[in-house]
Structure 1
Amino acid sequence: MEKQGSRALLAAVIGMGVLLFIGSLALVGVLVHRMMHPAPAPAAVVAGTVTAPPVIMGADAAGDLVMDEAPGTHVQAVTARPDGLLAVVLGGGGADRVVLWDPAGRRIVARLVLGHP
């Protein structure tokens, strides 16, 4: 009877050792994968106000990008996307809206109006 108990205990110890070994290999694999393929930086949220009068979107004399928005429009949040675009949430001055801005191309890619004023 003692041999049966010690054999079962030996089998359990060997099984747990194998599981620990496989788990360690999986952990090392995940770490190597994350080092080889880093995740993009977390998105930033910034608040501010737009005080410029409405101007048609384009570059002004100084080369700054300006947008045609109603007076009182303010920036509620800015989120950086992995593809390099910025999602800008605008509020005030009418309906809330989300604008996808391409800073590298100096253009507005898309505009989503969330409701009627």
Structure 2
Amino acid sequence: MEKQGSRALLAAVIGMGILLFIGSLALVGVLVHRMMHPAAPHPVAVAGATVPAPVMAGPGVQAGDLVVEEAPGTHVQSVTARPDGLLAVVLSGGESVDRVVLWDPAGHRIVARLVLGRS
């Protein structure tokens, strides 16, 4: 009877060793596959309320143009494209301190504003 228990134990140990070996191979296979085929980054959701941008009619402004109400003397310092399709536009000058505007060119709207300090 003792030999039967030890045989069952030996079979269980061998079975667990085989499962451990197969699991390790699967883990290495998944890691190699992910290194060889990286996934595209997912779009990042922008937190915050949507600020509708006014579209004004006037000289030089056509229907569908995005007009951002900024103080005179404001200029674009830099524009950075984000992976989710938005443009981060850094504005400086004018009557306000530096600020960042997230612009959605596809939707013709300002998604968020970030004021970097108070004057």
Instruction: State the TM-score bracket (shorter-chain normalisation).
Output: 0.5 to 0.7
Aligned to 2:36, what secondary structure does the other structure show? helix
Name the larger-Rg structure.
Answer: 2
Query: What does residue 31 of structure 1 align with?
Result: 36
Query: What does residue 76 of structure 1 align with?
Result: 77
- 2: CA distance, partners of 1:103 / 1:114: 23
Q: How many residue pairs were aligned?
A: 77
Q: CA deviation at 1:116?
A: 1.8
Please give the per-residue CA displacement for 1:83-110, whole angstroms capped at 9, x wherever unaligned: 2111111001121101111111111111
Q: CA deviation at 1:72?
A: 0.9
Please give the per-residue CA displacement for 1:67-94, whole angstroms capped at 9, x wherever unaligned: 1101111111111112211111100112
Q: CA deviation at 1:27?
A: 5.8
Alignment map for 1:1-117 (pairs within 5 Å): 29-32=34-37, 34=38, 37-38=39-40, 57-60=54-57, 61-63=61-63, 64-93=65-94, 94-117=96-119
Structure 1 runs (4+) deviating above 4 angstroms are: 25-29
Identity fraction in percent: 59
Instruction: Give TM-score, length-normalised by structure 1.
Output: 0.53
Structure 1 unpaired stretches of 5+: 1-21, 41-55
Instruction: Give TM-score, length-normalised by structure 2.
Output: 0.53
Structure 2 unpaired stretches of 5+: 1-24, 43-52
Q: CA deviation at 1:65?
A: 0.9
**Greater RCO, 1 or 2 (C-alpha within 8 Å, sep 6+):** 2
